[in-house]
Structure 1
Amino acid sequence: MNLRSSWVAETGQTREDTRLNQVGATTMINPVQVRSGILPGSYDGMYRLAGFWTTGATAMAATVSEGRAVIQGDISQGVYPVSLPASVQVTFAPGDAQYGRIDLIVLKIYDNLYDSSNRNEAKVEIIQGVAGPTPVAPATPPRSLPLYEVTVPAGASAGNGGIPWNTALKDLRTAVVSVGGILPVEGPVLRGAYPGQYQDTADGQIQRWDGGKWVSYPAAVGGIIPASASTLPASYTGQYRATASGPLQRWNGSAWAPAYPGPYFNDSLDGGYTISTTYVNTLVDRAENPLSVTFVAPESRQAILTFGSKIELALNSGTTGIASTAYMCVRITQGTAVHRELDDELAACASKSADPTDAVSASTTQRIHSLTPGATYTVTAYYRSSNANVRAWFDNSFIQVTPQY
Structure 2
Amino acid sequence: MPADPLFINESGGSPEYNAAELRRAFGMLASKAGTIDRFGARSGVHPAGGPALTLSGTTLTVGHLQAVMYPAASSTQGPYLVQLPQHTWSVPAAAAQPRKDLVVLRVYDNDEDGSGQRTADTEYLTGSAAPSPSEPSAPAGTMRLGVIDVPASGGGNPTLTYVAPWTVATGGVLPVRTAADLPTTGVYEGMYADVADTNQLVRWSSAAWDVVAEVPTAYNTYTPAFSGHGSASFSTLTGRWKRISYKTVHFIAYWVVSTAGTGTGNVTITAPTSIDRTVRQSVMGNLEGAASPSLRHVAAVSFTGGTGAVFDRLRFDSGGSTNSLSNLTGADLASGMLGVIQGIYMEA
TM-score by length of 1: 0.45
Q: 1:63 to 1:134 in 2, by over 3 A?
A: same
1:178 maps to 169
Aligned-residue RMSD, C-alpha: 4.3
2:52 maps to 52
Question: Which whole-Å CA distance do the structure 1 matches of 2:242 and 2:67 have between them?
Answer: 33
| Residue 262 of structure 2 is aligned to residue 255 of structure 1 | no
2:99 aligned to 101, 105, 114, which one? 101
> Cα deviations across residues 50-82 of structure 1 (Å, max 9, x unaligned)?
2513222xx532111112111122252221221
| Residue 189 of structure 2 is aligned to residue 195 of structure 1 | yes
Q: 1:94 to 1:288 in 2, by over 3 A?
A: closer
State whether residues 107 and 125 of structure 1, in contact with CA within 8 Å, keep that contact through their aligned partners in structure 2.
yes
* Unpaired stretches in structure 1, ≥5 consecutive residues: 1-12, 43-49, 234-240, 246-251, 262-268, 270-286, 293-405
Question: Which whole-Å CA distance do the structure 2 matches of 1:67 and 1:35 have between them?
Answer: 16
- Matched letter for residue 103 of structure 1: D
Question: Which whole-Å CA distance do the structure 2 matches of 1:23 and 1:164 have between them?
Answer: 43
Q: How far did residue 176 of structure 1 move?
A: 0.8
| Residue 208 of structure 2 is aligned to residue 213 of structure 1 | yes
Partner secondary structure for residue 111 of structure 2: helix
Q: 1:185 to 1:130 in 2, by over 3 A?
A: same
- Matched letter for residue 63 of structure 1: T
- Matched letter for residue 111 of structure 2: L
1:111 maps to 109
Q: 1:206 to 1:228 in 2, by over 3 A?
A: farther
- Matched letter for residue 173 of structure 1: A
Q: 1:22 to 1:197 in 2, by over 3 A?
A: closer
2:140 aligned to 135, 139, 142, which one? 142
State whether residues 64 and 87 of structure 1, in contact with CA within 8 Å, keep that contact through their aligned partners in structure 2.
yes
State whether residues 102 and 136 of structure 1, in contact with CA within 8 Å, keep that contact through their aligned partners in structure 2.
yes
1:29 maps to 34
State whether residues 27 and 177 of structure 1, in contact with CA within 8 Å, keep that contact through their aligned partners in structure 2.
no
2:251 aligned to 227, 230, 244, which one? 244
Percent identity of paired positions between Structure 1 and Structure 2: 26
- Matched letter for residue 93 of structure 2: P
Q: How far did residue 128 of structure 1 move?
A: 1.6
2:335 maps to none
Q: How far did residue 185 of structure 1 move?
A: 1.9
2:157 maps to 164
Equivalent residues in 2 for 1:257-336 (5 A)? Answer: 288=321
* Unpaired stretches in structure 2, ≥5 consecutive residues: 1-18, 219-240, 253-275, 285-292, 294-319, 325-348
Partner secondary structure for residue 113 of structure 1: helix
Q: How far did residue 148 of structure 1 move?
A: 0.8
2:131 maps to 133
State whether residues 36 and 176 of structure 1, in contact with CA within 8 Å, keep that contact through their aligned partners in structure 2.
yes
Q: How far did residue 106 of structure 1 move?
A: 1.2
